[in-house]
Each structure stands twice: as C-alpha cells, then as structure tokens.
Chain A
Amino acid sequence: MSDYTVVGKPLPRVDAREKVTGAAGYTADVRLPGMLRGKILRSPWPHARILNVDTSRAERLKGVHAVVTGRDTAGLRVAFVDTPRYPADEPPLALDRVRYIGDEIAAVAAVDAETAEEALRLIRVDHEELPAVFTAPDALTPGAPLVHEADYPGKTIWEDWGARGRPQSEPVPRQDNVAARTYVEFGDLGGGFAGAHHVREDRFEVAPVAHAPLEPHAAVAFWDQGGKLNMHVSSMGIFYKRFVLSKALGLPPSHVRIHKSYVGGAFGGKIDVFPYEIAAALLSRKAGRPVLIELSREESLTTTRMDFQATVRVKTGVSREGIIAAQDIQVVVDTGAYRGTGPVVIFLCYSYNIPVYRVPALRYEGLAVYTNNPVKGPKRGHGAPFIRFAVDSHMDMLAEDLGIDMVELMRRNARSQGEVMPTSGDVLRSCGLKDAIEAAARDGGWGAKRRQSHWTGSERFKRGVGLSACSMFSGSPYYPFASAAVLKLADDGGATLFAGTVEMGQGSETTLSQIAAEELGVPLSDIRIVSGDTELTPIEFGSFLSGGAFVTGKAVRLAAEDARRQLLEMAARLLEADVRDLEARDKVVSVKGAAHRRLSYGAIIAASVKQASGDPIIGKGYHKSVPDAGLHPSLSTAKGRWTEAYGFAAQLAEVEVDTWTGRVRVLRVVTYHDCGFPLNPQIVEGQIEGCVSMALGQTLQERVDLREGQVFNPDFLNYRIPITHDTPAMVSGMIHSQEPHGPFGAKEVGEGAVSGVMAAVANAVYDAAGVRITSLPIMPARVLAALDAARARGGRQEGR
C-alpha cells in the first residue's frame, strides 16, 4: 500500500474548482436557443377514475407550444422493477386512473414558466373519485379498495436480456394489494426456537423520510434532425436511464443520448426514470424545441419517490451464551401507489441483514403493499437503515436479557472472512466487521461510558452510548450489468479517461482518475476525465447499488493496465529490452539497473504513432459486479448470486437525553467502515460523514408528514434536514480489509454507514435514560411519553 503514489492519498477533488467558481453545469443550468419551460398537471385526488382530459383551452393560450396527456403515451407503463413477475405498473401520464396526490395527468410546454402554469389551470379533468387506502394494514384487510385492479404484463424489459416472459399479455386481475413478496427459509427453525435458552420478539416502526437532495429534479430534452432524443437529466446511472427512456419512447437505445450534467445529490432518489422526464421528451418532440422541466421543491419532495414506511417484527432464539439459534423476521412496507422499488427493498432487508450475524435457521418474509400514498424508492441504504435499526435494537435488548455486554454479544455472532451467505452463495472474501465493532467501541469509550448514565452528575441530563453494525453490497447484477472504461493516451504522456460515471457528489471522477493515474504511473493532474455522457463513454454499471468504486473502478484499472502494457511493449522494442526488465513511473520508462536507457511516455507514444501503423495507445477495461452470475437473480426467493463484495461498518453513538424536555442530543458518532482499501481517504471520510448526518436526520427529526395521502411538510421549512447546529463530533475511521476483487482492494463506502446510526442512537438513549424507543424518529414527545411511563412503573421502560 505504501508503494502507491496516487491512490490512498487524500488528494483534492478534480471537480472542486468548477464547483467553487459556479462554473459546474447542473441540468437546470442548461440554456439552449428557443428552450421552452415544461410544467406538469398533477392529481389533487388520492384515487380517481379519469373520464376525460380537455386540453383545448390550454392549447389555445398564447405562448403554449405543446400539451401532452396519456393519449400521447400509447398505453405505456414504466417502472424501476420491470420483470415478468413484477411487470411495470406506472403510466407516465394518467391513462384511466390516478392513484396518489401528485400523480401526473398532463404536461405543458410554453415560452416561460408562468405561461405554462397558467395553461395548467385551463386544463379540465372530468373524474370520479374512488375509495382510497392509506396504510399497509388497511390495504391488506380483505375487501380493501384495490389500488391496482390488474397487472399489465406486456413485454418486460428483462425479456430483452433473456428472461422468460409470461405467456399472456392480457391484463391479469389482482386479488389484493400485495405488490411484492420475498420469502426465505432455511435451517431447522422449529428446533432452533425449541432448543433456545431465551426467545424474545419485538416490533419496530420507521416513518417515511425524504431524500431531499439540494438540487431539485430537472430534465432537458431536445431532438436532433436524425430523430435522436438528447437529454440532460438528474441521474445516478445514465445507461440505465437511456435504456428505459428508449423503451418508453420506442427508440433504439442508440437513438437516446444522455449528456453530461453534474448532479446535486441523489441518495437513491434519482435512479428511477420519472414521468416528468418522459413528459419532457414528449413535449419536446411535439413542440420541435428544447424543453426544460424543473420540478419545484414540493414536487421533488412528494412525487419523485421517498423512503418507505416500514414495520419490522423480529423474533430471535439464543443460547445461554447469546449465540443466535433461530430468527424469524417479517418486514412490511407501504410502497405507495406504484411498486416503485418495493420488491427490491423487501429483498434487500434480507440481503443487507444476513451478512452481519450468523443465523443457522431463519424465516424471513417481506411484503410490499400498495396504498394511495406517494411512491417509494431507493434511499441511501435501501432498507438497511430500518432492518438494522430493528435487529440491533433487538440485539441490545437481548444483551440486557442475557446479562452479556453488547460488544461481546455482537462479537460472538458477527460473521467473518470466508463465510458463505445462505441462499445466494456470496462469499465474504474480505470482512472487517469484528475489527470495526471493536474499533468503534474502543474509540467511543464504550468501557468507561456504558451503563454509567449518571456520569454527568446531573439529574436532568443523562448520557449513554449505543452500538450497531451494518453491511452493504458493492454492486449487484442489474442492467447494465457491467462497466467498461477507455484510457486514451495523449502525445505528452497524459491521458483521457472515458468512463460513464455520474458525479453526484460521491467523488467518482476523482477516485476513478486516481486509479488510472496510479496504474499508468502519472500524476493525477495528467488525467482528464470524460464522464456522464452515453455517447462519449462506454457503458457503465451506474453509481447505484454502491457499485461505483468496485465495478467501474475495476474496469478503469484494467483499462489503465492495458494502456500501460502497450506502452511497455512499445518501449521494449525501442529500448531493445525485455518487457520484464522495464519499469514505468513519472511518465518515463527505464530499464531496471540501467537508468540511462530511458524514454519518456511522450517519445514512446510518438514512436507508436510513427512506427506501429499509426496507432495511438488506447487501453480498454471491462468488469462486472458478479462475473459468474446469471442476469437476473430472484427478488422473491433471494436465490442467485448478488454481489462479489460486501462493505461493513460498525457505529457508536453517544447521546445526552434531556429528561425534562425529551430532547436527544447526539454528542458523538464513531464510525469504522470496512471499505477494503480507501482510494481517497478524504473522500471516504466525506462519504461517511454525509451518511452519518443523513442518518441522524432520520433518527431524530425527519418524517414525511403523510395524512390521507397528502404530504403536509413538502418544503425545507417544515421538512427539516440537519443543519450545522445538529452536527455532532464525528470520528470516521477506516478498516483496511483488502478486497481481493476490488481495484487496489477497494469496495463499497457510499451507503453502508447510513444504516447503523439509528440503532446506535436508540440503544444509547436506552443506556442514558432507560427508555426504549422502537419507532423512528426519536422525537421529544416519544421520549417524554416513555419517560413518564417508566416513572409511573418505577424503572427502565420499553416505549414506542
């Protein structure tokens, strides 16, 4: 590791200068001649039948160039999950129904935003309101109104990649509101519970939270003369967006180009293809002019997905020593009016939980339930935050029942390197989980502070510490399955890296450039990166499922290796030496032990052009998240390979509970993240700190206030994300576990550390004040109610 000169160093970001000068271009900053502004007409009803949409008055308004409705979409349905089992269910513009407040009905393009808004008011919608359902338990009640009366199998996007489709393409009547189910069972469950020394069962609830990236969603669409759709989008994976947009618009994928835009934060909320993006493309085609749709903050917070409302039930049987014998987990999520990523999140709750503790016998059931609420989607951690909140709160309770220290209980059950995951067969080739737990406990002062709630000497303010752990994929098989990279050397020995990555704050342009520079033997300043454009770069897996560094990073390393090999082969010819005797560094190739026999990269490249049939040197590299996997492992059974490497983290929170007001102040969060090898420690720290901040918001204050399908806090005054005053001391440490399949040993870092904070804080609150909060967020009223109940019963108390 110490031999590296570029990777492993806290080098400044390559995109920072553009961003501090205001030069960085985001989607809403795009300016094109003749560009129109688009606006969307949305449903004010949670559930209604659409009888007729009359747009004639809007079309006649001066300044309006195009109006589109469901009639312009040819019965189209799209969705993030579009498999034979779970076919796409969301029309980009309403066909015959709207299913939540905010559902898209029509779109308008006009010369300016004010005119477009005026046009929306002129559209008349004849409708008939329908009974609606707003909670998962209500939706599961027999006889509840059906959010979808049928599934529309059609042809799914997976069939293009060899998945077997359903024989019928007619609508399939639905019997219930279950949008998806994941079921996993292994081991001797009955025997495990029967033989256990102790069994306990707990129930946890999590409120829906918003991604709230600072950049509201936006899209620009324009068509060129050849009938190609060009777009700028707020995106996390441009090749996925291109694929779905091409399907939605009936174009070959090569007839859709996504152009580069910087993305102002995404956190999972910008991977889906959204109706407003399809509307922008339709409006632009109809108007014959570029169209920009910039969603308002309210639209961004209510109609572009949010995290799931979830209920988790955990039952565990343990031996006298605290070893888990059997576990039964049920997760029920409200997925909203369309499936969104409901089928994925209930699967991921299983998959992100299973690598943490060894479980010999398990039953897991996940249910995603349709309601007439806004649609849910992936948010940083995608299920990991709530499953880890539930399981590690429950572990803390088990530790107390058994009289075993939580660190010891975690250590006894934690998985380690070499273990094979049940159902998937994924192997933990690197696993620094136990090291992370021990490091977090040590740095957090666990030994001195645990169970010492009176150390402040105050009757009012109590302090405590709590722990949790988590795991996360490093990429997974999902379209576009693989990443490729190209490294083109320039005359002076510098190089241009072509990679499809989207820079959305995670630092991918920097870490990928570092990988290329290290492998090529040049300084970081000699690498130029071209990214975020489907036309200019080879295909890329996408910066989601935490595969950026692991999958794309490996492709970049292989591309640089390829270029370096060609460079050395050319140098060997020129220097009349064996390739094995050469060394390359600082843009010079020299013969080992004969330093005078040397050539600059520039001279070698010039020779390559002159002598080797004019070839410049171009390196290519490819990588898949799981090289030996089929295309489509099962979301409903969890069978099939999922990932080649898991990241791990352990987190400790120290809190102070004000027993008079119920307010919880987080004083310190210690995170130890096993990211394999930190390619850029400063960026890794930034990712961890960002995860912790977001997680603290979810733990203490954030909640989308949803009542009867209406969001009551769709703005930054009423949906309050953490601010400077909420920032605790953070210790962000890294466990180096050297992942054998990762570039320089690297794996996931962007998501994992968002998942342990909730349980760590909840456990710390219990440690401090003796009250157990099992519903997020841990707001003062909940803490006070639990404290009152505890006083009334005279002791430590489990509350809601």
Chain B
Amino acid sequence: MKELVQLSVNGQTHDLVVRPERTLLDVLREDLGLTGSKRGCDLGACGACAVLLDGRPVSSCLTLAVEASGHEIVTVEGLARGGGLHPVQEAFVEHGAVQCGFCTPGMLITVTALLDERPEPTEAEILEALSGNLCRCTGYVKVLDAVRTAIRRMRQPGLPGSVAPEVRA
C-alpha cells in the first residue's frame, strides 16, 4: 500500500507516492535527489540528516515522509539564497569549521534553527543545541567559533557576510 504525500522542500512543492514506512531522509535523497542531507547513523543519534520541519530541526532519518506531508521542509540545499551563502554558512567557511564536511549540513541546519529562535544564545545554549550533532573531524572548537561569529554578524547587519532578517525569511 502506498500513500500520496505533498512535500514542500526549499520552497518547492512535490507530490509523491510513497510507501508509508519510508523515511523523509530516504525520500529526500532517493526521490528528490537532495543528497545534501547525510545518512550517518539511521538512529537519530548523529544529527547528519537534520532538516528544518516548519522551522524546527528534526532527524529526517526518524521522520516518516507521510508525517512531513503538508509541512515546510528546509534542507542544507535551501539555506543559501540569491547566490549568496547564509551567514552561518559563511562563518563555517571562514573559520575552517568544515573539514570532511559530512556532518556539516546537519550542523548548519541545527545552528540556523537555534539562531532563528534565539538570536543571542548563551554559550550553554550553543553547546546544548549542537550536542546532538556528532563530528569526528574538527574537535568542535572551530565549529563553536563559527557559531559565535555568525551570531555577531547576524546581529549587526552591514558587516561583511551579514544578511538582513527580512532577506533571510
């Protein structure tokens, strides 16, 4: 038995027929060709497959495609707009917070969600938000540096790399 789902991904709507047990991660990667979201553990433990579901970060490997039907999904492919990188992406590039890059899409999604909800998070909130995103390469130091820079940039539009909130929406 298959079900009809309507996924709005990065602003584009897709009508799909899927088996009910298929995960959002599978459908994004296999059916829509959006391979930016990574399969790291298939258990919701590593954060590499994180996407935004109505603005909240979820593990797409634990989310069924049918559950996501009718909701707004943003993947890493949808973060950059208008040819420019999102300030969080820019900060990751600038700080060398990207090494092998496999955890990076999930990290970017998590950080974006955090800063959308709390533009000025405390250090503890930053650590907590990213505690579900595993990284084996960077040792997290440069990731945390990048997040701090992104916060500064997004608070002060006009600095290089910053984007005004209305443009980002």
What residues of chain A have their CB less than 8 Å away from a CB belonging to chain B?
Answer: 10, 12-13, 15-26, 28-29, 31, 211-216, 262-265, 267, 294, 296-297, 504-507, 682-683, 685-686, 689-694, 715-717, 721-725, 727, 730
Contact = CB atoms under 8 A, between A and B. Distances in A.
A162 B63 CA distance: 56
Contact of A685 (B85, B93, B136, B142): B142
A725 B138 contact: no
B98 A20 contact: yes
B68 interface: no
B39 interface: yes
Nearest to A214: B102
B60 interface: no
Contacts of B45: 715-717
Given A21-B76, A22-B105, A721-B134, A504 B100 contact: yes
B139 A689 contact: yes
Q: Which interface residue of B34, B101, B105 has the most chain A CB atoms within 10 A? A: B101
Given A12-B96, A725-B131, A265 B137 contact: yes
Contacts of A715: 41, 43, 45
Contact of A21 (B46, B89, B126, B142): B89
Main secondary structure of the interface of A (DSSP, over half): loop
A20 B92 contact: yes
30 contacts: A13-B96, A17-B85, A18-B101, A21-B89, A23-B36, A25-B35, A28-B35, A31-B33, A214-B40, A214-B46, A214-B100, A216-B40, A265-B102, A265-B136, A296-B42, A505-B99, A682-B96, A685-B96, A686-B142, A689-B138, A690-B99, A690-B136, A693-B139, A715-B41, A715-B43, A716-B43, A725-B131, A727-B140, A727-B144, A730-B141
A444 B136 CA distance: 25
Given A16-B93, A22-B37, A686 B138 contact: yes
B92 A16 contact: yes
Nearest to A669: B139
A29 B35 contact: yes
B42 to A, nearest CB: 6
Contacts of B116: none
B99 to A, nearest CB: 4
A491 to B, nearest CB: 26
B85 A20 contact: yes
A267 B126 CA distance: 27
Contacts of A25: 35
B93 A716 contact: no
Contact of B36 (A22, A504, A730): A22
B41 A20 contact: no
A297 B42 contact: yes
Interface in B47-89: 48, 75-77, 79-80, 85, 89
B118 to A, nearest CB: 16
Interface in B101-151: 101-105, 108, 126-128, 130-144
Contacts of B36: 21-23
A555 to B, nearest CB: 23
A17 B108 CA distance: 13
- Chain B interface size, under 10 / 10 to 19 / 20 to 34 / 35 or more: 35 or more
Contacts of A26: 35, 38, 102
Given A22-B36, A727-B139, A727-B140, A16 B98 contact: yes
Given A724-B127, A725-B127, A20 B108 contact: yes
Given A12-B93, A28-B39, A715-B45, A723 B85 contact: no
A507 B99 contact: yes
A690 B80 contact: no
Given A213-B136, A262-B100, A294 B39 contact: yes
A715 B45 CA distance: 8
Contact of B101 (A15, A689, A691): A15
Contacts of A216: 39-40
Contacts of A730: 139, 141
Nearest to A19: B101
Nearest to B78: A22
B76 to A, nearest CB: 4
Nearest to A697: B136
A661 B37 CA distance: 39
Nearest to B91: A20
A8 to B, nearest CB: 15
A506 B94 CA distance: 16
A690 B100 CA distance: 11
A633 to B, nearest CB: 31
B39 A694 contact: no
B101 A724 contact: no
A15 B96 CA distance: 11
A263 B100 CA distance: 7
Contact of A20 (B42, B93, B142): B93
A782 B108 CA distance: 38
The listed residue with most B CB atoms (<10 A of its CB), out of A15, A22, A506, A689, is: A22
B141 A214 contact: no
A212 B126 CA distance: 24
A13 B85 CA distance: 15
Most chain-A Cβ atoms within 10 A of its Cβ — which of B48, B98, B131? Answer: B98
A716 B46 CA distance: 7
Given A15-B101, A262-B100, A505-B101, A716 B140 contact: no
A16 B137 CA distance: 14
Contacts of A215: 38, 40, 100, 102
* 7 closest Cβ pairs, A-B complex: A22-B36, A264-B102, A505-B100, A19-B101, A693-B139, A689-B139, A716-B45
Given A12-B93, A716-B41, A723-B132, 10 more contacts: A16-B96, A19-B101, A23-B36, A214-B100, A214-B102, A264-B100, A504-B100, A506-B99, A686-B139, A690-B139
Contact of B135 (A20, A214, A263, A683): A214
Nearest to B90: A20
Contact of A297 (B43, B127, B128): B43
A214 B134 contact: yes
A721 B133 CA distance: 11
A722 B133 CA distance: 10
Nearest to A23: B36
A267 B100 CA distance: 11
B143 to A, nearest CB: 8
A214 B144 contact: no
B32 to A, nearest CB: 11
B104 A19 contact: yes
Nearest to A265: B100
A250 to B, nearest CB: 33
Contacts of B128: 724-725
Contacts of B48: 214
A215 B41 CA distance: 9
A690 B93 contact: no
A411 to B, nearest CB: 28
A447 B133 CA distance: 37
A507 B67 CA distance: 39
